[in-house]
Amino acid sequence: MKNISKSQSKVLNCITDWVKAHDYPPTLRELSKLTGFKSTWTIRYHLNNLQEAGYIKLKKGFSRGIILMKNVFGIPVLGSISAGKPVDAIENIDGQIDLSNMFKDQKDMFALKVKGDSMQDAGIFEGDIAFVKKQLTAQDGEIVVALLDSEAVVKKYYLTKSGIKLVPANQKYQPIISKNAQIIGKVVGIIRKYSGRNI
């Protein structure tokens, strides 16, 4: 991304602030008030430049037709932290996590609250939220959600001659081999929150 002038970043910051607060973009005149620039033309001037620099996209003729390119709700991912420097030193930022886009493809996705400790050794604990992509088949070694005796279980999947083998990641439990286990989906990710509720 090109670097931008002071005025341009002022406008950009006002847009992101507004979006954070309202969940929708501002109009030219709202930006005019926020930035202090008294002419809508000045705003458009900067908006056009911001668009050329790749920071926003403008929809002609639409009110509030400003689309931010950088996701507002992202969280910075730090690559490394070194002593002395403050944590928010920009140089260390490795990327930006956009939680909204983290598990896109959402129409074929659902989430499941994990019960029990059978997948403990795979780092999936009781209370974790598992993100599941709906599919009826799986490949060996993938972690799946399967329907077994009208109960949903999270296990590792293997296909054997005698049927589907569902392997827990915990020595306390035994693998299950079943001919009528039904695969519901594949676990594509998990999320865990250490304090407070997850939902």
Q: Which amino acid is at 48?
A: N
Separation in Å, CA 86 to CA 62, 68, 90, 91 = 42, 28, 9, 11
Q: Which residue has the tokens 């296909």?
A: 159
60 is catalytic: no
Q: Which of 4, 14, 47, 124 binds a copy of itself (CB under 8 A)?
A: 124
Q: With contact defined as beta carbons under 8 Å apart, do 18 and 25 qualify?
A: yes
Q: Supply the DSSP string of 24-40, one letter for each residue.
A: SPPPHHHHHHHH----H
Residues between 49 and 78 with contacts to a copy of itself, criterion CB under 8 A: 63-64, 67-68, 73, 75-78
Angle between helix 28-35 and 40-52 (nearest 10): 100
Contact call for residue 158 and DNA (CB under 7 A): no
Annotated active-site residue 118? The verdict is yes
Give the whole-angstrom CA distance, residue 144 versus residue 62. 45
- Residue 44 or 115: the one with the smaller Cβ distance to DNA is 44
Query: Could you tell me which stretch among 7-15, 22-30, 35-43, 155-163 binds a copy of itself (CB under 8 A)?
Result: 22-30
95 is in the binding site of which of a copy of itself, DNA, none (Cβ under 5 to 8 A by kind)? a copy of itself
Annotated catalytic residue, options 32, 118, 165, 186? 118
Among 9, 16, 34, 40, interactor with DNA by CB under 7 A: 40
Residue 30 interacts with DNA (CB under 7 A): yes or no: yes
Binding segment (CB under 7 A) for DNA, from list 32-40, 136-144, 149-157, 162-170: 32-40
41 binds, among DNA, a copy of itself, none (CB under 5 to 8 A by kind): DNA
Contact by Cβ (8 Å): 126, 113: no
The single residue of 155, 156, 165, 186 carrying the catalytic annotation is 155
CA quadruple 105, 106, 107, 108: dihedral sign: positive
- Is 18 a binding residue for a copy of itself by CB under 8 A? The answer is no
CA distance 47 to 4: 11
Binding site for DNA (CB under 7 A): 5, 7, 27-30, 36-42, 44-46, 49, 58, 60-65
Residues involved in catalysis: 118, 155
